[in-house]
Amino acid sequence: MTKGTKRQASQRQDHYQIVTDRIIAALEAGTPPWRKPWDAGKAAMTGPLNAVTGHRYRGINVLLLGMDPKAWETGDPRWCSYKQAQDKGWQVRKGEKASTVFFFKTVEVENRDRVDDNGDPEKAVVPVLRSYPVFHASQIEGIPAYEPPTIGDAPWRRPEAVETILANSGVSLRVGGDKAFYSPSTDHIQLPPDGTFSSVQAWAATAMHELGHATGHPSRLDRDLRNRFGSRAYAQEELRAELASAFMAAELGIPAELEQHASYIGSWLETLKQDKREIFRAAADAQRAADWCLTCHPDYAATLDATTKDKEAESTPIAACGVPLPPQDEEMPDHLKAALGMSVPTAQANSAPAYGGPRI
């Protein structure tokens, strides 16, 4: 096979399907890829980050790199490209296999349904998914030893961080009963008494999950929460809260110790098998939810500069994978959707449930 033929074969790969198949395989094996099935003493208690820039990987890339055993066997969360390592004077060992992350690259496509003043087809700018190879720090010679952040470096990793985030979120917290849930109609989180949880980590994971739901309120990120329990849309929202909780746990340095009901895993499998792009949408929404929650911690918020963050999201391909699929999805002409393999969004049900009730 020639070099050009290999490139064409690579371009024909269905990245959405490849990623979705990996997630489905993990779920079918009974191991959600955002759960940490390893020894916490050896695991990297932070999300994956770039060894050169220090930027955190986002969205779907958090899941993909989190599934790789190299990170949780070594306790080192760092990754980078071959060229980045080379530019630093480091060397990827011969024979090492790269892992794949993804980013959206914009391309220009003719919109034959609309013409300009000259009668020429208008141009539509749409994002297309691209892959990018990276290597783990353990595969690279010459890279300095990893030094995990201290409490001084990341004060939001203190044990009381989740309590601080909840208190500053503006979401009402009520304690009592035997169920944990978020009610969109009253905009409150309900948690059982602290003593009913198996550990502080279990309490924190549950609280973060329900706060993830609360970010969907119209006053926050405004997701559609009018979905009946058991519906596909309800399962989609549960998946977003589950991922948001895992993303927050990674940043806060705590394990995501939340037992998941088998019915949820089954509904996620059904949803992912029906739509190969759903895990990307879910991860993007979850990343935004996690970002919103984390900025409720003053120490974390103080480290962020909104302008710099926006520029990085535009200029850093890997960081950009935390953005959602294009809003043009619903407005785009059918022939452009077909050209890019986009599907028509599923209609959502109209009711007002409480999210998370069956979890406890």
- Assigned token pair, 4: 């050009």
What is the mean pLDDT of the segment spanning 34-46?
Answer: 50
Highest mean pLDDT among 63-72, 117-126, 223-232, 292-301: 292-301
Q: Is the pLDDT of residue 173 over 90?
A: yes
What is the mean pLDDT of the segment spanning 157-171?
Answer: 91
Q: Which residues contact 336 (CB under 8 A, 6 or more apart)?
A: 109, 111, 124, 126, 342
Q: Is the pLDDT of residue 162 over 60?
A: yes
321 Cα distance to chain centroid: 9
What is the mean pLDDT of the segment spanning 179-199?
Answer: 92
Q: Which of 108-112, 217-221, 322-326, 350-354 has the least mean pLDDT?
A: 322-326
Q: Which of 71-80, 122-131, 142-151, 314-323 has the least mean pLDDT?
A: 314-323
Q: Is the pLDDT of residue 1 over 50?
A: no
What is the mean pLDDT of the segment spanning 48-73?
Answer: 85
- Assigned token pair, 54: 């220090």
Q: Which residues contact 207 (CB under 8 A, 6 or more apart)?
A: 162, 166, 189, 191
Phi, psi of 153 (to 5 degrees): -70, -40
**Which SS3 state, helix, strand or coil, does residue 110 take?**
strand
Highest mean pLDDT among 30-44, 88-102, 326-340: 88-102
Strand order in the sheet with 188-191: 172-175, 188-191, 181-183
Query: Phi-psi category of 41—alpha, beta or left, where left has phi over 0 and alpha has psi -120 to 50?
Result: alpha
Give residue 134's pLDDT: 95
